[in-house]
Homo-oligomer: A and B are copies of this chain.
């Protein structure tokens, strides 16, 4: 079947359904603005979340509203696009319909799957039950509230300090783990003023990673800089050892060491969103959906997968990293092929996706970040940190969010203060792994 043949009567606009309003899904929708198609964007939430800054919500630097944007607001001026809040739980590729958790169905002519990722626990005992994930605004507020509750508890009963009430173990030395560790140490500085009666110098952050250095994928000199910076901020960095088990009182490492800690941040890894398991499609490492070089699952000409759930590989056969830039570029690529399909541009409908690596950056905290370009150029320190700030400000969707985040960062930087350190919601153990049926915020 020529892919351009969408079986549509002349003049009928194909219905493109995009599942997920993360970076990949949203970019795809926006790139279809002037295409002769009708777009429906489906998401379980009514807002887009700027995930790279979730750790700042968890550490009271920003609030939920700063890093989220109502989807309907984003696509408000896009005449060919509608939005539906709903939880997709399956698909019938023969009938070309999606199944929703509420029993409804959504027909499509072309489907773009961008469900994103969920936290991966790798079968580590107790990790899911006792670890705090950081994949949604709900996760971030729960973690922030939990950490602040520990300080309140110690203020009432200082003996709790001996049980690790103020110790946080961060599992996983990727960008999230490093950023959380640095930001927690800076938050403790603020809390030392809030809690004069608490020995905040006994509040610990222990970053645990199985590798020899944090931030795998970066140049060794940058990884060493990150380690040194974290240590300089007062974090403990335990490398070359994995976490064996997690329980309510702390973690046990693979070498038998025990760390008493009432807070365990689980930043050890992600897997494709559980929707990927429910489609009957082939999966690869991390439960990602196997796709060809055009981002289509083999045998499914009208389906694209983009972002963290896509198992696309580069020319060497390596899976692309699960980062925002890949999702964004894949979303745009799917939109381009959809336009080609619709217009019958046979030369373009099978154009392979090629990732344009713009480099990567991570921040460790105030005045400290790392930046690495594909050319091999690297940068650390204040300039890299300013670069990180600018890139993230510009990437935020919406003027209001940019203004709010800029204002908060400026205030935090000048005052060494943190704003939204509110304890919200009932005390709770962390949520189960996100399931397609459960709203996650």
Give the shortest distance, in Å, between A389 (CB) and chain B (any CB): 19
Are A138 and B70 in touch, CB under 8 angstroms?
no
Give the shortest distance, in Å, between A245 (CB) and chain B (any CB): 29
Q: Which residue of B is nearest A63, CB measured?
A: B65
**B-contacting residues, A159-175, CB 8 Å:** none
A220 is an interface residue with CB less than 8 A from chain B:
no
A254 is an interface residue with CB less than 8 A from chain B:
no
Among candidates B76, B156, B419, residue contacting A65 with C-beta atoms closer than 8 Å: B419
In angstroms, Cα B149 to Cα A72, docked, is 13
Of A118-126, A178-186, A420-428, the one contacting chain B is: A420-428
Are A424 and B441 in touch, CB under 8 angstroms?
yes
**B-contacting residues, A386-441, CB 8 Å:** 400, 403-404, 407, 411, 417, 419-426, 439, 441
Copies in the complex: 2
Are B407 and A47 in touch, CB under 8 angstroms?
no
Known contacts A63-B63, A70-B194, A403-B407, A155 near B426 by CB under 8 Å: no
In angstroms, Cα B46 to Cα A83, docked, is 37
Among candidates B68, B83, B104, B156, residue contacting A422 with C-beta atoms closer than 8 Å: B68
Give the shortest distance, in Å, between A121 (CB) and chain B (any CB): 23
**B-contacting residues, A37-80, CB 8 Å:** 45-47, 63-65, 68, 70, 72-73, 76
Q: List 25 A-B contacts (CB under 8 A).
A: A45-B423, A46-B152, A46-B422, A46-B423, A63-B65, A65-B65, A65-B419, A65-B420, A65-B422, A70-B421, A70-B422, A72-B194, A72-B195, A73-B194, A73-B417, A82-B197, A84-B152, A84-B156, A104-B156, A400-B417, A400-B419, A404-B404, A407-B407, A424-B441, A426-B439
